Chain A
Amino acid sequence: MSRSRRAKLQVFRVVTFVLLGAFFLGPIWFMFEFSTRGIGENSPRTLDAWKAIGTYPDLVAGIVASLQLAVITSIGVLVVLVPTMVWVRLRLPRLRRVIESISLLPLTIPAIVLVVGFSPMYQWMGTNFSDSILTLSLAYAILVLPYAYRALDAGLAAIDVKTLSEAARSLGADWFTVMLRVIVPNISSALLNAGLLSVALVLGEYTIANNLLYPNLQVEIVSLARTNAGVSIAVAVASLLFAFLLLVALSFVGGQRGGRRRNRERLVQTFARDFSGGTR
């Protein structure tokens, strides 16, 4: 590639980065600006709205509930999905496409349509089982399924599940040991990716909770906006930053994986060279 072409490409990259950064960070900046305005036209900047977050019990309850939902949903999805996906790869490979299609289905169904389907189920659960907000984790598990599936599928594709599990079985491992000590440690990055994606999705979910009348974080933010817009915006900025930090952590994990893979490739090349040079 010529030097001028490389320079042009570099300029294009910087411009794209700046424009997209402004597009994403601009609204957050203006939200932050709004949340720090004082009362009155020439009032100085204040963090009163941010300090007031803890004084709204419903909002705090919504934050706690959303965090609990995020943890329960992430763990629940991983516990169900990982053994299922491993089993399908090992024993029912012909069903893989079917499972993939089913797992990706929620992507194609609008949240409001999902609510229509969930509504009678939650009415029944509210009457016969529990009306706790934590039951929302069932609906959220379906919502995050496509993202978790994709992340785990990539992780499982990177290892030879069949050979590793058969090797472990031949050494005396039962299926639980195979999962816990052989498969899980080798897809840890994929598990973390799936978990973080699930957390980010659950923290930002509004439609299902609102329509099923469960007050999660996003529902409380909207509700608060009617009485105190400053606090509402402050919480929204905080939750956006939290999700943003999660995604940064995720990309960091992804970067580490890439780094490890590069290390591995480098090592393979080194050994291939050693080998051809007369080592054992």
Chain B
Amino acid sequence: MTASVEATLRSGVEVRLEDLRRRYAGVTALDGLSLTMAPGELVCLLGPSGCGKTTALRLLAGLEEADGGRVLIGGEDVTNVPANKREIGMVFQAYSLFPHMTAMQNVAFGMQLHKVGPAERRKRAGDMLELVGLSAHAHKYASQLSGGQQQRVALARALAIEPKVLLLDEPLSALDARVRARLRDEIRRVQLEVGTTTLFVTHDQEEALAIADRVGVMNAGRIEQLGPPTTIYSRPATPFVAEFVGLTNRLPGVVKGGEVEVRGTRLPLVKPDSADGEAIALVRPEAVTLASDGDMMPGPLVGTVIATVFLGATSRVTVDLGDITVLAQLPTSDAVALTAGTRVRLSLRKDPVLIARDEKASAEA
């Protein structure tokens, strides 16, 4: 790391969003969102379109005003501070480089506004471009850079002003898959290097799980669950989180005595105090195993393979059980023989599962 980048490195600050509320024309975008980010932490807000994640980021940036709640950066209440005085660096979903400036001028722009001298400005802009691996493109205009390169310049530009907080608003969504994965790793590397507290907003679960220290899954203006990626995936707190993060089989069953019985198999519940009655068990595809030998007499967990999708090291197999289809994720070596039409017997691993109440049954009740 160069001296100038080291100078940019600052110990991150704590960021707190307290009970943020925002409504647009009668629609609630944020419904009392609270979030505390530790210094230097990278938190991802993950959720479907319209869940309020971008609104939360824009309120933190000062680009919109909250109807209620507070924003604190480094312990200082900045709720009513305008965007240009919050010392926040931001990378946008849309390409946001100034078209009339070169990459170098773009990176130097913010420093000029912060009264950094010309020599220092040039040096630091050069170092920042080096940090994102674009020194060779310093004198190119935005129109001469690819999408991935533009977003990297935007990242360098945001970091050059030594922001207290870095905000990333779906910066990879306009890029193709290969570039996206590479740039995602690069963003994480740079963020760890400079140590800036970072909020990353995305609707891509793979992106969120890969990059974040903690992931906040949002739904209807609130954070449903906040935790490390492994916890979010393996121990989802709500049915929404279970279904939004990763693939989930919805298997009808009956809750009784702290367990749910699914097609003759009793599975423990994440929340054993759930009321008895009909419910939908949410089972991950990797908790489903398949066997194609032995007794294939008709039964509740015997079915026919209808499709096998090769995913690399693993394969996803779709099995028709007659009344429902079930997804199973297996090592590719085990799935090779499971071509369409193969009869298989399913077994469900006895991991604790979440349940969702059967809407149809509830409605009838």
Contacts and interface: CB of A to CB of B under 8 A. Distances in A.
B161 interface: yes
Given A186-B99, A272-B146, A172 B161 contact: yes
Contacts of A40: none
Interface in B23-73: 61-63
Interface residues of A, number: 28
Interface in A229-279: 263-264, 267-268, 271-272, 274-275, 279
A269 to B, nearest CB: 11
Contacts of B176: 275
A158 to B, nearest CB: 10
Nearest to A278: B178
A2 interface: no
B158 to A, nearest CB: 7
Nearest to B100: A185
With most chain B CB atoms within 10 A of its CB, the pick from A163, A185, A186 is: A163
Contact of A171 (B95, B161, B167): B161
Contacts of A164: 96, 98
Interface in B84-109: 84-85, 87-90, 92, 94-96, 98-100, 109
B100 A167 contact: no
Contacts of A170: 61, 63, 83-84, 88-90, 158, 167
B3 to A, nearest CB: 23
B214 interface: no
B98 A173 contact: no
Nearest to B87: A172
A274 B98 contact: no
Q: How large is the interface on B (under 10, 10 to 19, 20 to 34, 35 or more residues)?
A: 35 or more
B92 A166 contact: yes
B182 interface: yes
Interface string A147-185: 000000000000110011011111111100100011001
Interface in B157-196: 157-158, 161, 167, 176, 179, 182
A185 B176 CA distance: 31
Contacts of B182: 280
B84 A169 contact: yes
B309 interface: no
A272 to B, nearest CB: 7
A169 B83 contact: yes
Contact of A173 (B61, B84, B90, B158): B84
A111 B206 CA distance: 63
Interface in B137-163: 143-146, 148-149, 154, 157-158, 161
B113 interface: yes
B133 interface: yes
Contacts of A267: 143-144
A173 B92 contact: no
B157 A160 contact: no
B110 interface: yes
Contacts of A182: 98
B115 to A, nearest CB: 10
Contact of A169 (B63, B114, B157, B167): B63
Nearest to B149: A280
A133 to B, nearest CB: 38
A181 B84 CA distance: 15
B145 A271 contact: yes
Given A166-B63, A267-B144, A172 B84 contact: yes
With most chain B CB atoms within 10 A of its CB, the pick from A168, A170, A267, A268 is: A170
A167 B84 contact: no
B100 A171 contact: no
A272 B174 CA distance: 13
Nearest to B175: A275
B146 A167 contact: no
B146 A275 contact: yes
Interface in B119-137: 133
A159 B100 CA distance: 11
B96 A167 contact: yes
A268 B143 contact: yes
Interface of A: 159-160, 163-164, 166-174, 177, 181-182, 185-186, 263-264, 267-268, 271-272, 274-275, 279-280
Given A170-B88, A185-B98, 4 more contacts: A169-B62, A170-B158, A186-B98, A280-B133
24 contacts: A160-B95, A164-B98, A166-B63, A167-B90, A168-B98, A168-B109, A169-B63, A169-B84, A170-B63, A170-B83, A171-B110, A171-B113, A171-B157, A171-B161, A172-B113, A173-B84, A181-B109, A182-B98, A263-B143, A271-B145, A271-B149, A275-B179, A280-B133, A280-B179
Interface of B: 61-63, 82-85, 87-90, 92, 94-96, 98-100, 109-110, 113-114, 133, 143-146, 148-149, 154, 157-158, 161, 167, 176, 179, 182
